[in-house]
Amino acid sequence: METFRQVSPPDREVTDPHDLGGDGFGPLKGLRILELGTLIAGPFAGRLLADLGAEVIKVEHPLRLDPLREWGHARYRGRALWWPVQTRNKRCVTLDLASERGRTLLLELVARSDAVLENFKPGTLEKWELGYDRLAEANPGIVLVRISGYGQTGPYADRPAFGSVAEAMGGLRYLNGFPGGPPPRMGISIGDSLAAMFAVQGLLAAVYARDRDPRGLGQVVDVSLLEACFSLLESAVPEYDRLGIVREASGTGLRGIAPSNIFRSKDGAWVVIAANQDALFRRLCAAMDEPELADDPRFSTHVNRGEHQQELERIVAAWAQQHDAAEIDAVLTAAGVVCGPIYSVAEIFSDPHYAAREMLVEHVDSELGAFVGPGIVPKFSGTPGSVRWSGPWRPGSDNGEVFGELLGLSEEELAELDARGVV
């Protein structure tokens, strides 16, 4: 079965790749972060911080580059399209951290930075003699954010992990899918992305704590993919603890929450209709020209609707099948009922709200030309983030700027380090 379909995207003219709009001013301007991670969780956290104005310096090994450069099933002009988005707004350098000179240069960068972000297997930094104690010697105020599968401690700390396994052992997969069926994954790496967002939260909280500490000391922020997934289980934990309830997969809706599900329209599209609160349900009944349902004893309260969920959803489904998706959306929105169509990315591109909110932002790449990537979240009224440049393709593209201007190395020294494979 195909997992993607291709449509014809709009043509775009190539403009100056350095003129993407935005002046680089954002709420995190002045914060310098060293990103040592690869693939998804670490680089995504770095991207979120860079989007908001932080100076993020991405460090790659000169010979073993981030696999994200080639990640993804589709190619445009021979290149993967995730790299230039995930690496946007970052400065990219190469550095062999296993070498003595590479470690020295990293520690010089640490002395001039606020935080280090890494998502290696626990013990990797220590193997390179770059554990937190050594980083703190170079900069007592440094914040070290560590993302791993199971955390830096505990019996599973050394166990290899991917986001897919964290989603499974963190409880998310068990709740996904239909009763009695295999627990499917989402079509994205949700476990890694959740951990990245917790990493950003932890980094900013640790910097805030350091800046309030008279001693100005940093600390370690330990983020586990497993725990990031587990944290989203809502009430499942106390329900099991006090009542012995094991929440199960519930398909397209939630057990006891009705009507709140997807319903198929006359033209074959799927629409979410969520009217499980009393006032919303009364509005839905009026919009369906069945106002009497709101006073029906089976449906008059939230609890009663949950007890008669299947019966009620059949009524709503029968109404939805008489109308096209656009009509359902228009009628229910006008009535104040929560609803919305299920979009593919193609439909997102045609929705005016995404454009009005600047969530489809043009990137201009030196090799790919102009393409659209996701916008900045969240929005700031006074210090908005921006897409300032697309992720660079040339390994070590910013070596001269970072090692030369920031650390004061000469061109001759850089050339010598390059010849030795240090950068």
Pairing of strands 32-35, 115-118: parallel
Q: Of 192, 329, 365, 398, which is the active-site residue?
A: 192
Contact 90, 69 (CB under 8 A): no
16 is catalytic: no
Say which residue the tokens 């074959």 belong to: 268
Active-site annotation, residues: 192
